Amino acid sequence: MAAEDSGTATLQLLGCWRLAVSGRAVAVPGRDQRVIAAVALLDARPRRQLAEILWADGSRGHAQANLRVNLSDIRRHHPGILADSDPLVLLPGVDVDVASLRRLPVIIDRATDRAQLWVWLEFARRAELLPGWFESWLDFEQERVRQQRLSALDGLGRRFLGFGDADGALTAAAIALDAEPWRESSYELQMRAHMLAGNRALALRVYESARSMLLREMDVEPAPILTNLAHELRYDGPA
């Protein structure tokens, strides 16, 4: 199926690789998926440089020949995806979910609807860049997206607290901790969410669990903000 209408193409790179045109999934060979993903993630790169990134273990001539073949296939079968340019870029009408993740902090800060926060939380839950892809050129991009995802989850948790939604904050923190078990900002979210729900004992249990893990795994005490929260909880201060 050709991507003939560039205004309706969506490229999913978070959770899995998927190209859809007018809402219908498009079958794309793995070799072409690599090229499209690289163009989407690496900004505008000259063709020569992109070829050397994607085929780093071969000769320059072999890499450039491979790229020419892939580009020919993509333009023949999916003409609405890549611009015929150098540097290579996606056409303006192609929506990429990674761009949505990058915009998420601003969207979260402006959110006025708690239900919409839950929609974005589900988006952040699956926002892992191309899981199962193990390529050296992708390592940095995967780590960058991971940090963007964790930051978005922190922001969602804080907004849920602002809306008085303890369950939302706890869910955001749990997703973040599943990805990074020593993330102290997520433990803070958990503590504050339990406090919001009136579960002071559970908030203290979170602190003790976090402290035990940080000492065991990292040989560090919790951040002062966690320790201060625990102190206020123990002595019934203005937590």
Residue 1 lies in a domain: no
Q: Largest Cα–Cα distance of the chain, in whole Å?
A: 71
**Both 195 and 207 in a single domain?**
yes
Residue 209 lies in a domain: yes
When the pLDDT of each residue in the chain is averaged and rounded to a whole number, the result is 92
**Both 154 and 70 in a single domain?**
no
**Both 31 and 146 in a single domain?**
no
Q: Mean pLDDT across the stretch 152-171?
A: 97
CATH code, 50: 1.10.10.10
Q: Mean pLDDT across the stretch 58-71?
A: 92
- Residue ending a domain, choose from 93, 118, 146: 93
For residue 112, give its domain range: 97-234
Per-residue three-class SS string for 119-167: HHHHHHHCCCECCCCCCHHHHHHHHHHHHHHHHHHHHHHHHHHHCCCHH
**Both 83 and 121 in a single domain?**
no
Report whether pLDDT(38) > 80. yes
Q: Which position has the token pair 């890499």?
A: 63
The token duo for 220 is 């560090």
pTM: 0.87
145 and 129 Cβ atoms separated by less than 8 Å: yes
**Both 103 and 75 in a single domain?**
no
* Model confidence pLDDT, tens digit, residues 223-237: 999 999 999 998 875
Confidence at residue 5, expressed as pLDDT on a 0 to 100 scale: 44
**Both 103 and 86 in a single domain?**
no
User: What is the C-alpha separation between 37 and 96, in angstroms, rounded?
Assistant: 10
Confidence at residue 125, expressed as pLDDT on a 0 to 100 scale: 95
Give the chain's count of helices (H) and strands (E).
10, 4
The total number of structural domains in the chain stands at 2
* Model confidence pLDDT, tens digit, residues 108-118: 999 989 999 99
Q: How many residues can be counted in the chain?
A: 239
